[in-house]
A and B are shown apart, each in its own frame.
Chain A
Amino acid sequence: MATMRLWIAGAILLGGAAAQGEVRLREGMGGVADIGATRCDYYAYIHPNGPTGFNQSVLYWLEGYVHARTGQPLDAFLAGVPDGGRWTFDRIGQHVLDYCTANPAATVADGVVDLWKRLGGGPAAPAG
């Protein structure tokens, strides 16, 4: 029994260590593991190499953010926003790209939060 507990404790420790490791994509995959954490200057630099894909990544990040803040899917949220119908796939991607071009030291997440404010959302969630 004592040996079993030792194994369980070891497994938890190892699992914890793995969880603290950097999230990386499998070798050979395209894209970045954490688009929100990507610095704006780098995002603006690599964006032309996959504009549609990067816009899609940003859209996913925005959808998660909106859902976390409102509990609503993005479409439902936009339906309640003035001019919400104007926020198309391309326009959302362009807004974040423009933000990143203007704010190279910021992150893509900052660009999405800027969009959130532009849409009339509340203040950004406190960091940490």
Chain B
Amino acid sequence: MATSRAPSQPAATDAAGGSRLWRPPWVGILTCVLMFVGVGVGHAVMTFIEDGLGRDLTYPVSIFLGLGGMILLWYGVKSKSESFATWTGFFAAIIVWMTWVEFFYMYYGRKNFGMLPRLHEPVVGSPTGEPEYMIMAATIGVLLTMCGFYLFDKDTRCNMFVWLQDRMGLREGLGPSTKTAKDRNYAIITFMETFYVTWFMYAWNLLIFDPSIVGTGQSAFLAEAGTCVLSIVWGGFCFSRLLKYRRTSTALRYAIPTANILWINAEIFSHWGLLTEVWVEPYQYLPEVSLICGAFAVMAALIVYAPKKPSETGERQGN
């Protein structure tokens, strides 16, 4: 659900500063790695919150943490700076997703409804499906309904939806977009983009790990391997477009879906035992997780302090 169209990007040769770093392909590479690492950081932060507060306290506190995310979004929506709006929209969505979705589902599944996790084996092994994920899997219908809104919205600028609108012959019926760049609020756009992409990827992941849908053994492996191929092709295509980006704010927004699509490989490789998800057990892998968090902070700082076009800082509207 990237919100900016790449074709306008290569033309933006008047990008900020004369630095060689802030040119294609480095802007795209940096933002993609940043967002990819950011998913791992998000996992680690959730574990830190759970362990720090304890599960019983996490549930009520998450109400207020989510509210804090919405207040952050409020500041972003009010801002004239596209860069600030993009960052606040992104962080607000991550906070709201973690607290009002994941922790709420955790409360309802584990505590309120009395659901039990799926277990890999009857007597040994880690749970393969936590109650919150079983609830989340049931939201696929709502997810697809919302997808209909983006698909049939004439003001959408997501490349994928615009492509689908073209293929479905919708462009004429929908008519021209009523919004120009200066009408667009980048905080709420980034917020919904981050939120929806995270939700979509979770649902996809849960679908291919669901033994009652894909079965077990060879059929499950085929679903997982097929997903790997699809995500590499899809994510690779997005990444190839991202490499052409020059404006950091636009690149950040496009990197969100790109990194999330590619992230599904990390989940599958972990499921296959090819890599250890250190971010899920941050206390056990503290040096590694510290390095990941540090890398995220450094890269985020680089993006924040990168030279920007006036349109990104709010000095001049438009793009």
Contact = CB atoms under 8 A, between A and B. Distances in A.
A52 B113 contact: yes
Contacts of A28: 118, 210-213
Interface in B286-308: none
Contacts of A38: 123
Given A26-B212, A30-B134, A31-B119, A49 B127 contact: yes
Contact of A50 (B117, B124, B215, B216): B117
B122 interface: yes
| Most B Cβ at <10 Å: residue of A26, A28, A46, A48 | A28
Given A46-B117, A57-B116, A51 B211 contact: no
Given A30-B131, A49-B127, A50-B117, A24 B110 contact: no
Contacts of A26: 212
| Most A Cβ at <10 Å: residue of B118, B210, B212 | B118
Contacts of B124: 42
B122 A32 contact: yes
B110 A27 contact: no
B211 A49 contact: no
B284 interface: no
A103 to B, nearest CB: 16
A39 B118 contact: no
Interface string B90-119: 000000000000000000011111111111
Interface in A8-46: 22, 24-34, 37-39, 42, 46
Interface of B: 55, 109-119, 122-124, 127, 129-131, 134, 210-213, 215-216
Interface of A: 22, 24-34, 37-39, 42, 46, 48-57
